[in-house]
Amino acid sequence: MKMTCLRASAMALALMAAPLSVLGSASAETIRVSYATAADHPYGLGVKKFAEVVEAKTGGRIRVRGFPSGQIGPEVQSISAAQGGILEVVVTSTAALSGVDKAFGVFDLPYIFETDREADTILDGPVGTEMLRRLDSKGLVGLCFWEAGFHQVTNSRRPIKGLDDFRGLKIRTIQNPVMIDVVNTLGSNAVPMPYTEVYTSLETKAIDGQTGTYPLVFANKIFEVQKYITEANLFYAPVTLLMSKKYFDGLSPADQAIMRDACAEARTTERDANRALSPEALKQMQAAGLQSNVLDAATIGAIKEKLRPVVDKHMKALDPEIVAALQTERAKLGRGSAASGK
């Protein structure tokens, strides 16, 4: 295991350290895409579609090679590499982008989206367009939004059916202040850690549970070391396909348009795959012994009320123009104020 990790680290460092000009035809003909999941996850299917479209529309002048499972590096490291111009493309959660632009923290808030339709309408509309535009000054080009989906809660101690059931559970979160506050406010103890450490930590009982989407829990075999999963839709996790601005600016206008078109076509593939996989993943995990339940509307309402101070606190730290635009779009969809948590 240690030798495997060392080899993976060495590969990542070599890829990061090598300038584009010495990586064969990478700068002119090959786009490398770094992503954290396995190749057969919806991310990987999206990358495959992106590659097919780019290669078809450029007549093979530009090829795309995906590097799954964090081979090049974790999300934050890959974002930095893209900013520096030594990696062409990274697929990353918006949570990891909060360190690049705090405005992306709006997507970390609980229940900011409640349905796929809401997410698609807002992310593919004016709000999403403006969020991606903000990355231009950060050395990145946001091509479009994909998705990881809605986060559910797993644990090994008891089914979660009400607020009291969260109390005392040690729940893993990413190293994100919003999500840490959410978990702690619900009465659990937030334990921030990289996702690569989650399986072992659950297996050894160092933590009791974690939050994640059905496809993620399934793909990473989290269900093997958990007894319960609760559908809470606590967070919705958007994903961005980011391109190095240095690389993008070196493309012709026609090729730049191809990149955006390819992202949009791959977006449909990735989202459709993710949404189709979610119920199938749950079904297979249930067959393997994972016990599941769905929180009712009254319980979801109680959770939102409990989390209102968290939403208000973190909303105040965000760009007011982004908050106002988001509230306007939510209102069009029949949703209340984002700051209210309703």
Is the residue at 124 inside a domain?
A: yes
pLDDT, tens digit, 9 for 90 and up, residues 28-62: 589 999 998 889 889 999 999 999 999 999 999 99
**Pair (243, 204) in one structural domain:** no
Total structural domains in the chain? Answer: 2
**Pair (17, 93) in one structural domain:** yes
CB atoms inside a 10 Å sphere around CB 247 = 21
Distances (CA, A) of 27 to 56, 80, 81, 85, 244: 19, 17, 14, 10, 11
Strands 189-192 and 236-244: unpaired
pLDDT, tens digit, 9 for 90 and up, residues 163-186: 999 999 999 998 788 999 999 999
pLDDT, tens digit, 9 for 90 and up, residues 148-160: 999 999 999 999 9
pLDDT, tens digit, 9 for 90 and up, residues 276-285: 999 999 999 9
**Pair (26, 60) in one structural domain:** yes
The pLDDT of residue 205: 97
What is the rounded CA–CA span in Å between residue 78 and residue 143? 16
The pLDDT of residue 98: 85
Range of the domain at 140: 2-101+116-148+238-278
**Pair (72, 158) in one structural domain:** no
Identify any residues that bridge with 172 across adjacent strands, giving them in sequence order.
191, 210
Is the residue at 221 inside a domain?
A: yes
The pLDDT of residue 26: 42
The pLDDT of residue 3: 37
pLDDT, tens digit, 9 for 90 and up, residues 292-328: 999 999 999 999 999 999 999 999 989 899 999 998 9
The pLDDT of residue 317: 87
Is the residue at 341 inside a domain?
A: no
What is the rounded CA–CA span in Å between residue 67 and residue 74? 11
The CATH number for 285's domain is: 3.40.190.170
**Pair (202, 264) in one structural domain:** no
**pTM for this entry:** 0.85
Average pLDDT, rounded, for the chain:
89
